[in-house]
Structures are given as C-alpha cells and as structure tokens.
C-alpha cells in the first residue's frame, strides 16, 4: 500500500474516532448521522466492503441484469408488439438474446411505466392532431 493511501486510511480512522467522541445532543451532527457514517467507514476499514460506495450502500444491487434504461426500452418494444397482437413466442423469436421467461419478467418489471408512457404518447399525438400540429 502506498504512503498516501495509508495516510488517507489513517485519517478516515481518526474521523471515525472523532465522530464517536461527539457529545449528543450538543453536537452539530445528529447521533444517527454520526453512527451511519462511522459504521460505514469502519466496514470499509475492516475490509468488510470493497469500496466506500459499497460501505454506504451506494452500489447497484447484484443480480439485476442490464441497465434499467435498456430493460425499460425493451419492455416498451414488447408492449408495442403485444398491442399489435404478437404472441410471446413471436416476441421471443425477435429478441433472441432473451428467452420468453426473461422477456415476461422484464415486461412485468416495467409494465405500469411503459403502459403509462404509451398512453401519454398516444394522448399527446391525439392532442397535436386536434391542434393541427
């Protein structure tokens, strides 16, 4: 470990000690916030997490495949195909990178959002036609 990283880790450990020494309720930092920060830093310093992001709970959940935007876009395509009368078999034949079960799960995850978006888009288009635009 290089010298700069060692100093940083020492400073973090010192910060945790200082947080724990705060007297509550006279401290300007709430007891809950001090506990949250100190326990997250301790997890990192003890090697229980790989990063400070993970220690603070800021890393994405494991096991969720792909980016939400891509899955939502896929769910929108599935909805449009379903509205055109396509079967799940036909849909899974189009998206060969996913099996039918995965496609149904992705669609279910974003179903309400994509239906709402489709309805909004249709109403907006209808309003534009009414206004001559």
Q: Are residues 85 and 113 in the same domain?
A: yes
Mean pLDDT, range 69-94, rounded to an integer: 94
Q: Is residue 126 part of a domain?
A: yes
Q: How confident is the model at residue 18 (pLDDT cuts 50, 70, 90)?
A: confident
Q: Are residues 7 and 45 in the same domain?
A: yes
- Is the Cα dihedral 75, 78, 83, 87 positive or negative? negative
pLDDT in tens, 66-76: 578 899 999 99
* Cis amide linkage into residue 25, ω under 30° from 0: yes
pLDDT in tens, 23-64: 777 888 888 888 888 999 999 999 999 888 888 888 766 655
Distances (CA, A) of 60 to 49, 51, 65, 69, 84: 14, 13, 11, 14, 35
In total, how many domains does the chain have? 2
Mean pLDDT, range 3-26, rounded to an integer: 86
Domain that holds residue 84: 68-130
- Overall pTM > 0.75: no
Burial 46-57 (b: 16+ CB within 10 A, else e): eeebeeeeebbe
Q: Give the whole-angstrom CA distance, residue 105 versus residue 60.
A: 19
């Amino acid at each position: 470990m290089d010298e700069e990283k060692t100093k940083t880790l020492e400073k973090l450990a010192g910060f945790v000690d200082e947080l724990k020494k705060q007297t509550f309720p006279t401290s300007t930092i709430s007891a809950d916030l001090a506990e949250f920060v100190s326990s997250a830093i301790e997890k990192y310093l003890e090697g229980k997490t790989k990063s400070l992001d993970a220690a603070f709970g800021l890393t994405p959940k494991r096991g969720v495949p792909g980016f939400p935007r891509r899955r939502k876009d896929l769910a929108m395509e599935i909805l449009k195909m379903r509205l055109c009368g396509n079967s799940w078999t036909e849909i899974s034949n189009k998206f060969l990178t996913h099996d039918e079960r995965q496609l149904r799960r992705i669609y279910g995850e974003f179903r309400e959002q994509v239906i709402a978006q489709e309805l909004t888009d249709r109403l907006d288009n209808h309003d534009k036609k009414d206004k001559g635009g």
